[in-house]
Chains A and B, each alone.
Chain A
């Protein structure tokens, strides 16, 4: 207990002992009102554990063999049983575990270790508080992903390893960049502008899974959950419904992912395992480009053009280009001279070489050593792992994670157990900029004309042969001899070689749990954890980078500290009233404190134009510093009661009473989160007993309320020192004028701010047929989230932009089906199949009259919340329409741009599913996982731009007019003429789509975005693994190893999709509510992985 108080004392503002003692008082008070006669029994007593992790098992039936006499293990796994003289054997049985017979002999104290029954996997559920419960007695739904499924997938990050393996869980990897974060979503979006990421609980303690800013430019953000070594995971429980998660109150609305790390196995000899993984990663899709026409406009070569509407390359005479050797020139890093081109003669096309300068095959290696074991009184698990990845981008794209974990349990006597779980990880990465930025990778690469060679990207510029060189000029297709300071768009070689975005994170996750058995029926658990990390991020832009901010050098450096402290004090009790009624009650108190600090700065316009990454390299007026503090706390007490009647009907109710620091001063101080679920095992009706078909059947009903805690500091309005940005231009920083400035923020706070409340109803069933060969789980749910807070847009003419307030309402409903089928099973040969399917519908019900809320995305196409539509619909420009809804066409037969934007697409799938098949023959194992995602829209922004630029394959088509055609500008193409473009009929006869169309409303910049919303459905071979395990007595004798496992895994080997250019999972705004935008996103990957594991 002392440790508990010590940890409390680390708060900056220590919680007074008085308050703590009141909390304690509460527990003892609450138990003193319920008095029981503890029954004293003798003869045989002991404990039942799971052999897997040595956790005590509650509710195990211990029967005297051959008699109808028995008991059930209590809260700490202990039992005691009266035996008569002739009884010698007892049987311990528990669903999900293999029953075990134990001969008693002379022993009076017995420890029983039950082996988990592999065929019954998933039948034990880890609840929100981390206790194992029998699934069949619960009315909630939870999906489970086993640790070996995660490690088998050989994903570099934990999150991606879950993809496709559980119903109701959507995992989206937005980029193939090393260390890229992933979007996790459980049961659809329940909130509007807050993060949709679920609460992550690691061994009972909530941890941070923050992601970066998900901006439209910059580097892809990471998910902090990936700091955890996937090989350390025992299991992951996904608590989908509100009732399952209710005990986490205002942090639980987006669902809970409960991760349990491995423990050693008790009483066994140490197990040593060494695993080595090599993966080869490749780009999985490329944007199709035209190579028929070169740089220029209107069909003529123009070396200053930003576009590829130039001459036909094959019509050049293919001699050397005629260059201006008397004019200015450029000597690149390879010593090659570049002059202004006077006449373009060369037919050379550089698309492939330009691409190959940037993209390679990536790879990673991962080595993990783990040692686990234990003695009589405890267990230990130790692992050390190192993952080292080089991305598919040739330079400055990498990820390395080194982690150490030590988990240990110790029993100190009968009544006291202590569990430590600790890990340290260091994650280092470098990432390449993406997206809507002149300094992003694909933007410069894909816009480069086919006839321009990007290989010389930096060098010396000479105005004439006699002038002295200007060094380190940036050469790009818009700056072919480096004559200008500003190269227009970054040469992609510059992007990957002269820009850095480094991040390094050191993270400690530390847990201590004390289990104290007070009486036979009562135990007290104290569980405290700290999640601490420090992250350092630096960005470097060499002078010469495109853009006024970076042009003369730019460097940022920042340190972030994040600390989550969480402590729970839990009292658990369990009573039997005869064999008909079982009651268990849990009471607890929780304190959760989160602190975040960021300090950093940036400099621009370097004094020394060298690679000095230090704040001293700029003048004071070009130096900015910046800091940000955040502190939030929630405190709660909770109650959970289970009652089992006739071993058939189980009612489980929870109540969490919570207060949060982020609630407005005028709102209620505390919020109550109730939930109740009911499980009815109808298969225990006499009607079904002994049925050869129906093995098990359960009906579930659940209701729960959970919340979303308001973000901090939104309950009052503030003053800021604004930096006004000029649309498409620069900015004015008010603190550089006069004596500086503070003005009211354009965003208002709300003193009435309160949590969002999600209410969910759920009904479902779990049925098993034919002796558990076929398992079906079905759930239907409906939920609404009320009081959704968001920045309610104000009419800007009011002088304010937004107020952060509770204003919205959103609903979700859906169905989930899980299926398991053991198709074939003999001793040596097994085939089984698992499948999941989910279907969700989401609708924004109320936005207080606001037509739409921008959630993120591009200025041309954004994700929005719009009343009556699913959250995150695409919003952009549309064609003008006639009153009857048909497209308005002008006199030339072309459509026009409508003056107002509207909804143009929906990135949500109609349904999603996964099918996995395992075929096992002796020690050989083959696993397939297909995943599908149907009916989702994707916005093809890259294509829209490339059409405008004349670079997309579709803009390189030549057509012979079969009749007179108008082009977009009203120009006439006479019959029989060949022109660059295609013929299209918008409804008023054929017209010619030519350069003028694509540079007008047929391309990105002034375009009608509606036409670029495409079908983003996909089906992918998410994973295929062939593994072989070398084992057996003879093998063991000769090698001293218990086994060597080999496996070959392919990930994302094939994707069936209509979307071309990138992995359809791609998303510009990554891990955010705005989904499905492709805009020069960095490419996705597929991988071939080889693994070898040595088990000693």
Chain B
């Protein structure tokens, strides 16, 4: 009887299994593979999301670019932040940008396509990781974005910066091979042009040497970087909801009224009604003000900087030129700095990065000369050294140019302890924000997350 039962059971098992076809659980709605070129586009859009989206708005509140006036943004304005506020924006970089770029590289290597496509992927990785390190401090690097490591180890911020530099060096090497370009259209920034990517990579090297205050190297790499506005890496946008400028989408969305530049630091500097307006006989900021703002500082998303299809700078000619100016001043001499600043002013006097008609409004950026920075000069009424006066002017120019960009937050933190730079007053309490918090999701799932997490007002390693 026992044997019979056993036999029956076997039949039972076999018969119910055969009624289920094996392919029934193959997902009919989604593929299980895709070529690396399509993944590349995904990682690039992820890059736009990270550098132009919520991260830059959040950084902007803490850089004097924006004020949060309502609901959660009012909290951010008052420095009421907690770990879970950062979950989504951490994903923007580690998943949507970095992970996808790593997948591109892995797939391309597997298919023997090392070259331009892998080089581009490395630039995107370095761009994301470098900026993430600037915001969060210590972050995972070697083990980040790879599913083999489900709890990536965190590495020291200064170490991460070194590795980012190495990654960019390797990227430049691969880009120089000039083979294995991504398929036509899949590279939304430069359509596979390795020369432009090499310049972006060098500009990024310069940016990250600025972060770590290695101004010599910064200058050297910036010299190899972006040389003309057409070489800028810009986030391109269109007229449709899903591809329009993220600032535009934000300001026209249901949270749009929670964020403004009214009563912010930047408005006071370039509003000609302001006591501390920076304009002088050689400088007229009217056009730039109106490009940025409407009224008393409402961000101009109707027709200006944040308008629907306006491109947003990710790594720009402006940034690189101003990096040459600052690092040139700091590592070479006054004249190097001044000449690069005047290069930028020349660019601006032709309209610069303004567009949509704002480049033809009233503006003036006449070149400065040495005496403008000497005692009693128009940029030195408080009688400081001409170097300091020039530095002050360059930092201010950078601050205004980086409106809405994460680099503005990096600059104010980097130069906070120096004598001359943008001085921010805390919105609340007596301390200024020094970093983004590790997100709750990482605390929950990754035991390697530093514990306790560093506080909001604790400077990252490079800014200590």
A residues near B, CB below 8 A?
13, 15, 19, 22-23, 26, 29-30, 33, 306, 438, 478, 485-486, 488, 546-549, 551, 589, 591, 604-605, 621-622, 627-629, 631-637, 657-663, 665, 669-670, 712-713, 715-720, 722-746, 748, 793-801, 849-852, 859, 877, 897-901, 999-1001, 1005-1006
CB distance from B7 to the nearest CB of A (A): 9
Asked if B446 lies at the interface with its beta carbon under 8 angstroms from chain A, I say yes
Contact (Cβ within 8 A) A901 B80: no
* Contact residue among A631, A732, A744, A901 (Cβ-Cβ distance under 8 Å from B103): A744
Contact (Cβ within 8 A) B241 A548: yes
User: C-beta contact mask, B431-446 vs A, less than 8 Å → 1, else 0?
Assistant: 0000001011111111
Contact (Cβ within 8 A) A724 B445: no
In the complex, what residue of chain A is closest to B238 when comparing beta carbons? A736
Contact (Cβ within 8 A) B17 A877: no
Contact (Cβ within 8 A) A636 B147: no
CA distance A1000 to B42 in the complex (A): 39
CA distance A446 to B94 in the complex (A): 40
Contact (Cβ within 8 A) A800 B28: no
Contact (Cβ within 8 A) B29 A797: no
Contact (Cβ within 8 A) A798 B147: yes
Chain B residue contacts of A628, Cβ below 8 A? 29
CA distance A723 to B243 in the complex (A): 10
In the complex, what residue of chain A is closest to B141 when comparing beta carbons? A797
Contact (Cβ within 8 A) B42 A632: no
* Contact residue among A30, A33, A669, A713 (Cβ-Cβ distance under 8 Å from B25): A713
CA distance A604 to B258 in the complex (A): 24
Chain B residue contacts of A726, Cβ below 8 A? 49, 53-54, 92, 246, 249-250
CA distance A715 to B78 in the complex (A): 45
- In the A-B complex, the 6 residue pairs with the smallest Cβ-Cβ separation, listed nearest first, are A730-B249, A1006-B75, A799-B99, A733-B242, A795-B446, A742-B34
* Contact residue among A549, A657, A851 (Cβ-Cβ distance under 8 Å from B12): A657
Asked if B331 lies at the interface with its beta carbon under 8 angstroms from chain A, I say no
A-B contact pairs, 6 of them (CB 8 A): A13-B21, A22-B18, A33-B4, A659-B19, A732-B243, A798-B151
Contact (Cβ within 8 A) B19 A635: yes
Chain B residue contacts of A744, Cβ below 8 A? 39, 99-100, 103
Contact (Cβ within 8 A) A900 B147: no
CB distance from B426 to the nearest CB of A (A): 13
Chain A residue contacts of B44, Cβ below 8 A? 737-738
Chain A residue contacts of B19, Cβ below 8 A? 15, 19, 591, 633, 635, 659
A794-B445, A797-B140 are known contacts. Are A728 and B54 too (CB-CB below 8 A)?
Answer: yes
Asked if B273 lies at the interface with its beta carbon under 8 angstroms from chain A, I say no
B residues near A, CB below 8 A?
4, 8-9, 11-13, 15-22, 24-34, 37-39, 41-46, 48-49, 53-54, 57, 70-75, 78, 80-84, 87-92, 94-96, 98-100, 102-103, 139-140, 143-147, 149-152, 183-188, 236, 238-244, 246, 248-250, 252-258, 437, 439-449, 453, 455-456
CA distance A71 to B228 in the complex (A): 102
In the complex, what residue of chain B is closest to A598 when comparing beta carbons? B29
A726-B54, A798-B151 are known contacts. Are A743 and B42 too (CB-CB below 8 A)?
Answer: yes
Tell which of A485, A729, A740 has the most Cβ of chain B within 10 Å.
Answer: A729
Contact (Cβ within 8 A) B39 A659: no
CA distance A899 to B437 in the complex (A): 9
CA distance A33 to B6 in the complex (A): 13
* Contact residue among A30, A793, A901, A999 (Cβ-Cβ distance under 8 Å from B445): A793
Contact (Cβ within 8 A) A800 B41: no
Contact (Cβ within 8 A) B53 A736: no
Tell which of B11, B92, B183 has the most Cβ of chain A within 10 Å.
Answer: B11
In the complex, what residue of chain A is closest to B37 when comparing beta carbons? A739
* Contact residue among B31, B49, B151 (Cβ-Cβ distance under 8 Å from A724): B49
CB distance from A749 to the nearest CB of B (A): 9
A743-B39, A849-B447, A1006-B78 are known contacts. Are A723 and B242 too (CB-CB below 8 A)?
Answer: yes
CA distance A717 to B446 in the complex (A): 22
Q: Tell me the interface secondary structure of chain B in the complex.
A: helix
Contact (Cβ within 8 A) B16 A658: yes
* Contact residue among A486, A622, A800, A901 (Cβ-Cβ distance under 8 Å from B84): A901
Contact (Cβ within 8 A) B441 A796: yes
CB distance from A446 to the nearest CB of B (A): 15
Chain B residue contacts of A723, Cβ below 8 A? 242
Chain A residue contacts of B31, Cβ below 8 A? 718-719, 742
Chain B residue contacts of A748, Cβ below 8 A? 147
Chain A residue contacts of B255, Cβ below 8 A? 728-729
Chain B residue contacts of A722, Cβ below 8 A? 42, 96
A797-B145, A798-B145 are known contacts. Are A715 and B43 too (CB-CB below 8 A)?
Answer: no
Tell which of A478, A628, A658, A718 has the most Cβ of chain B within 10 Å.
Answer: A718
Contact (Cβ within 8 A) B445 A850: yes
Chain B residue contacts of A488, Cβ below 8 A? 257
A29-B11, A727-B54 are known contacts. Are A737 and B188 too (CB-CB below 8 A)?
Answer: yes
CB distance from B243 to the nearest CB of A (A): 4
CA distance A114 to B42 in the complex (A): 71
| Given A659-B20, A744-B39, A1000-B80, 11 more pairs with CB closer than 8 A | A19-B18, A548-B241, A627-B29, A657-B16, A726-B249, A728-B54, A729-B249, A743-B43, A796-B441, A801-B95, A859-B84
Chain A residue contacts of B188, Cβ below 8 A? 737-738
CA distance A899 to B98 in the complex (A): 27
A720-B30, A726-B246, A744-B100 are known contacts. Are A661 and B20 too (CB-CB below 8 A)?
Answer: yes
Chain A residue contacts of B74, Cβ below 8 A? 999, 1005-1006
Contact (Cβ within 8 A) A633 B250: no
CB distance from A636 to the nearest CB of B (A): 5
Contact (Cβ within 8 A) A1000 B78: yes
Chain A residue contacts of B38, Cβ below 8 A? 739-743
* Contact residue among B16, B80, B91 (Cβ-Cβ distance under 8 Å from A659): B16
CB distance from B62 to the nearest CB of A (A): 15
In the complex, what residue of chain B is closest to A849 when comparing beta carbons? B447
A26-B15, A438-B254, A662-B25 are known contacts. Are A732 and B33 too (CB-CB below 8 A)?
Answer: no
CB distance from B137 to the nearest CB of A (A): 13
CA distance A261 to B184 in the complex (A): 64
CA distance A438 to B54 in the complex (A): 20
Contact (Cβ within 8 A) A546 B254: yes
In the complex, what residue of chain A is closest to B151 when comparing beta carbons? A795
* Contact residue among A635, A727, A746 (Cβ-Cβ distance under 8 Å from B53): A727
A622-B240, A633-B19 are known contacts. Are A897 and B150 too (CB-CB below 8 A)?
Answer: no
Contact (Cβ within 8 A) B100 A733: no
Contact (Cβ within 8 A) B187 A738: yes
Contact (Cβ within 8 A) A629 B29: yes
CB distance from A670 to the nearest CB of B (A): 5
Contact (Cβ within 8 A) A661 B95: no
Chain A residue contacts of B453, Cβ below 8 A? 899-900
CA distance A898 to B443 in the complex (A): 15
Chain B residue contacts of A1000, Cβ below 8 A? 78, 80
* Contact residue among A30, A635, A715 (Cβ-Cβ distance under 8 Å from B17): A635
A659-B20, A799-B99, A859-B84 are known contacts. Are A712 and B91 too (CB-CB below 8 A)?
Answer: no
Chain B residue contacts of A30, Cβ below 8 A? 8
Chain A residue contacts of B447, Cβ below 8 A? 849
In the complex, what residue of chain B is closest to A660 when comparing beta carbons? B20
Contact (Cβ within 8 A) B41 A740: yes
Chain A residue contacts of B87, Cβ below 8 A? 796
Chain B residue contacts of A898, Cβ below 8 A? 82
Chain B residue contacts of A800, Cβ below 8 A? 95, 99, 147
* Contact residue among A26, A660, A739, A1006 (Cβ-Cβ distance under 8 Å from B11): A26
CA distance A719 to B104 in the complex (A): 13
* Contact residue among A637, A793, A799, A851 (Cβ-Cβ distance under 8 Å from B145): A799
Contact (Cβ within 8 A) A897 B80: yes
Contact (Cβ within 8 A) A798 B149: yes
A742-B31, A796-B90 are known contacts. Are A486 and B252 too (CB-CB below 8 A)?
Answer: yes
Contact (Cβ within 8 A) B249 A548: yes
CB distance from B419 to the nearest CB of A (A): 30
Chain A residue contacts of B27, Cβ below 8 A? 712-713, 716, 718
Contact (Cβ within 8 A) B83 A901: yes
